[in-house]
Amino acid sequence: KQAGSMANAVLRAAIREKDSIGHMHLPEVPKEEEDGIEAVQRRVAAWSVIHSHPTWMVQRWYRRYGKYECERLLQTNNQVHPSYGVRVANVDVLRSIPSDERADAEQDATDGGALLDACQRLGVQATPSTWFPKEFVRVERGLQKLLEAGAVREGGCAVQDEAAALAVAAIDPIPGDRVLDACAAPGGKALLTARRLKGQGLLTAVDVSSKKLRALVHAAQIQGVNQVVTTVPSDFLSFPIPSVPYDKVLVDAPCSGTGVLAKRADLRWRRQEEDIPRMAELQCALLSHASRMVGTNGILVYSTCSLEIEENEEVVDAFLQQNPGFVLDPVPVQLPSLQVSTGILASLPHRHGSDGAFVARMKRVA
């Protein structure tokens, strides 16, 4: 973790200082009108250096998104000051944050409003989330002030991108549901799911890391949702099929993470292209095992923070071909800019200003 933080800091410093490094020779990019095979190869090679991404990654995105969107994605991943999503957790904690002379306005009665009020009192520049304004805000400047005030430490809010909430929107947990989170750590989606259960129902959070599950339990306690959360330290592929199936199951699968490179700058250099088919094999196994725990008319949600088709659409397509008892089911939230097709949502960093995410909602009909 410390090495990753250091790498992130070094890479961001390099980006900030790139204009002052006069002796650095950057490769020449072919002119915009040059689109032959050789020109594309030279452009990809040049962008790999200029935008600090592995060549294989640039090639892959160039083929998928084309010239203009590819470069926008590379640029987005190198933003020096990315914005951050912050989620409401415990409203009472937020409203206990001391006010100052800058915050004389009347309080907003909604949960999202309570978070905005807290940000205003602390001098944090924030706006309501476009997708989930009742639960999230987007912090442009001043996140450190929120952290220093203890808002996260004491459970008032959590730093979490709105893209993470897409999977929870697809699960659509309601009070009384029995929900299984198959790969729960670090716990952001599990905690939001638990909050939406409003004290009624059960969330079983499974993860191979006992340490991460202990952190999840602590977060559930300070956020006031521990009464519905049960944790099970286990490799999910060894997790036994319950005698009573779950109403809803989430597989937020381990993935290449290519949708979150703006916030994890070191990750791009720790991934190899051959990791992707290996990830897809594991993802297929996890989804298949999870499907055995869903009751009739129950919901199975598959999600990743990857941009790669092999880890997203191809995993879902293969699963549906092998499991005709499941069908894609409309996501019960209106987000037309994110809808790929019935039951499938995707966010892209350069289009939506969020983390990259993929979500598929499936229903068991037989």
Contact 56, 64 (CB under 8 A): no
- 305 catalytic, yes or no? yes
Q: Alpha-carbon distance 262 to 259, whole Å?
A: 8
Cα–Cα distance measured from residue 284 to residue 77, given in angstroms and rounded to the nearest whole number: 28
Q: What is the DSSP letter of 183?
A: T
The residue from 157, 183, 284, 305 that is catalytic is 305
Edge-to-edge strand list for the sheet holding 136-141: 125-128, 136-141, 84-88, 157-159
CA dist list (Å): 297 to 327, 340, 343: 10, 23, 15
Q: How is 201-264 classified by DSSP, letter by letter?
A: SEEEEEES-HHHHHHHHHHHHHTT-GGGEEEEES-GGGPPPPSS-EEEEEEE-----TT-TTT-
Beta strands in 20-114 (DSSP E): 84-88
* CA distances, 365 to each of 295, 324, 343 (Å): 9, 9, 15
Helix axes 55-77, 37-50, angle to 10 degrees: 60
Distance of alpha carbon 287 from the chain centroid: 18
d(CA 260, CA 277): 19
Rounded alpha-carbon distances, angstroms, from residue 43 to 26, 28, 49: 12, 8, 10
Q: What is d(CA 210, CA 190) in angstroms, rounded to the nearest whole number? A: 15
Q: Which residues are catalytically annotated?
A: 305
